[in-house]
Amino acid sequence: MDFELSEKAIDFRSQVKKFIENNLTSEIISNMHKTGTFNDKSFNEALASEGLLAGAVPGYGDRDPVELYLLFNELEKAGAPYDGLAVTMLVAGIINAVGTEFHHEEILKKLLTGKHNCCLGYSEPDYGSDVASITTKAEKVGDKWIINGQKMWTTMAHESDWVLLLTRTNSEVPKHKGMTMFMVPMATPGIEIQPVPTMASERTNATFYDNVEVEDQWRLGEVDDGWSVMGIALALERGVMGGTNPAVPLLKHVLNWAETTPSKNESLMINNTLMRERIARTAIINQVGQLLTLRAAWIAATGGMPGVEGSMAKIYASEEYQKVVGWFQQMAGAEGLLSFGAEDAAASGWIDYDARHAPVTTIYGGTSEINRNNIAERHLGLPRSR
């Protein structure tokens, strides 16, 4: 792996940095935390018209995964709303890999304008980690499919034009072999969205599918082969699409706070020994998170599948983020509990926010345990424990 980025990647990064400087306003950031929707269509559109979006689709166009990593890493470091964009671009990547002509014309082209979003409909109330056991049913009736069931945690459903929906099409075969994937237009009659509020302001949804009728052209991949499409999604996503440097914006907010906040024994928190030790440790964690992610991107850029390496980056970054948040929240004492807008809130409320947000990072996108299973079996060669 090269620690020196290529000329092209350096140019790309400065283009992204400049874009962020010019387009990411404090209104966009405060609005995302007010609404809980980490997606901003006009920001996405601006990215598209700057020509930066096509490069955000994994496997598409002439951008390599290192640039993909750079785009999402810069957005993450700047605290920009990128969750909706990451999912949408992931779906664009899947369509690029397995979609039909129709999917390219009807969906991918629109996604690249930044005006449209997608969401992921994998998890269900009863099946999360064991996602291959889902029960939402798709039945072929004539030349149409009729879908019935419920999905849980369908984040961005309320912003989306399509849901990438994992369905059961055959219950007679082993569970992995009886699922089919669809791109269901959200406007189809029979779909209902109910918001699910969370402890960290970010909004997700439960989605209900009641005799939802779709034509066969919305099927993505072969019938009963939805698990392969899931596999592509995971391989495209792991590591490179943000989520591995969450403590970078946190550290920035903590530094601003420590430089201006009096401490008991020293003049300012920034001179407190324990504070300085923890700042140093956080800086190390941020570097290691970056290097593990960059390595996953490198493997993808050179034609490999960084499945295990992505798991390593994901576990490391999310677990350490929780640890770091805990340190700083405790160091801030009572003011570390105060939220956005509260008088005297430590780091203007960011410490409270990050402490609320951190727990979900070891859960969504595959829990730490599921990623550890992956490493134990596929990297260490230990026997399956389930």
Partner 1 sequence: MSADQEAIKDVFSSFFVEQTGPESARNSMPLGFDVKAWKRISETGAPGMGVSPPAGGGASLSDLVIVAEEAGSQIAPLPIVDHVVASRVLEKLDLLEEEVLTGTLVAGLVVRPVENGVAKSVPTGAIANRLIALNEDKLLLITEDPPNESLPNHGDLPIAHREIKNANVIAEGTEATEIFDRALNEWKTLISAFLVGITRSSIEMTVDYVKDRHQFGKPIGSFQSVQHGLADLPGLCDGARLLVNKAAWSGDREMSGEIKLTDNEISDFATLASMSLVFAGETSLQATDRGLHYHGGYGFSEEYDIQLFYRRARAWSQILNSPSEECLHLADLLLKDSED
Ligand X SMILES: Cc1cc2nc3c(=O)[nH]c(=O)nc-3n(C[C@H](O)[C@H](O)[C@H](O)COP(=O)(O)OP(=O)(O)OC[C@H]3O[C@@H](n4cnc5c(N)ncnc54)[C@H](O)[C@@H]3O)c2cc1C
Q: Are strands 179-185 and 191-196 parallel, antiparallel or unpaired?
A: unpaired
Site of interaction with ligand X (CB under 6 A): 119-123, 128-129, 153-155, 198, 204, 360, 363-364, 367, 369-370, 373, 386
Please, which residues bridge with residue 152 across strands? 206
**Contact positions with partner 1 (CB under 8 A) in 300-339:** 309, 311-313, 315-316
- The binder of 44, among partner 1, ligand X, none, by C-beta within 5 to 8 A per type, is none
- At residue 139, what are phi and psi to the nearest 5 degrees? -120, 135
Tokens encoding 234? 């995971």
**C-alpha distances in Å from residue 20, one per residue of 26, 72, 317, 359:** 11, 11, 23, 27
Cβ-based nearer residue to partner 1, 314 or 357: 314
Which one of ligand X, partner 1, none is in contact with 129 (Cβ closer than 5 to 8 A by kind)?
Answer: ligand X
By CB under 8 A, tell whether 286 contacts partner 1. Answer: yes
Task: Please report, as residue ranges, which positions from 358 to 377 form the binding site for partner 1 (by CB under 8 A).
Answer: 369, 371-373, 375-376
d(CA 73, CA 240): 8
Helix (H) or strand (E) segment spanning residue 183: strand 179-185
- How far apart CA 207 and CA 122 sit, in angstroms, is 11
262 binding partner 1? (CB under 8 A):
no
Query: Cα dihedral angle (126, 131, 134, 136), rounded to 10 degrees?
Result: 100
126: amino acid identity, one letter: D
* Residue with Cβ nearer ligand X (148 or 198): 198
Question: Interface mask (CB under 8 A) for partner 1, residues 65-104, using x and -?
Answer: ------------x---------------------------
Task: Tell me how far, at minimum, the Cβ of 248 lies from partner 1, in Å.
Answer: 5
State the nearest-atom distance from the C-beta of 352 to ligand X, in Å.
18
Q: Smaller CB distance to ligand X: residue 9 or 91?
A: 91
Q: How far apart, in whole angstroms, are the C-alpha atoms of residue 355 and residue 338? A: 11
CA atoms of 158 and 317, how far apart (whole Å):
29
CB neighbourhood size of 200 (10 A):
17
- CB within 8 Å of 267: residues ≥ 6 apart: none
Contacted entry of partner 1, ligand X, none for residue 290, CB cut-off 5 to 8 Å set by kind: partner 1
Q: How many whole angstroms separate alpha carbon 195 and alpha carbon 216? A: 29
Is residue 1 close enough to count as binding partner 1 by CB under 8 A?
Answer: yes
Residue 273 contact among partner 1, ligand X, none, beta carbon within 5 to 8 Å by kind? partner 1
Our CB check for partner 1 shows the closer of 264 and 384 to be: 384
With CB cut-offs between 5 and 8 Å by kind, which of partner 1, ligand X, none does residue 128 bind?
A: ligand X
Cβ atoms of 297 and 240 within 8 Å: the answer is: yes
41 binds, among ligand X, partner 1, none (CB under 5 to 8 A by kind): none
Site residues, partner 1 (CB under 8 A) = 1, 3-4, 77, 245, 248, 251-252, 255, 259, 270, 273, 276-277, 279-281, 283-284, 286-288, 290-292, 295, 309, 311-313, 315-316, 369, 371-373, 375-376, 379-386
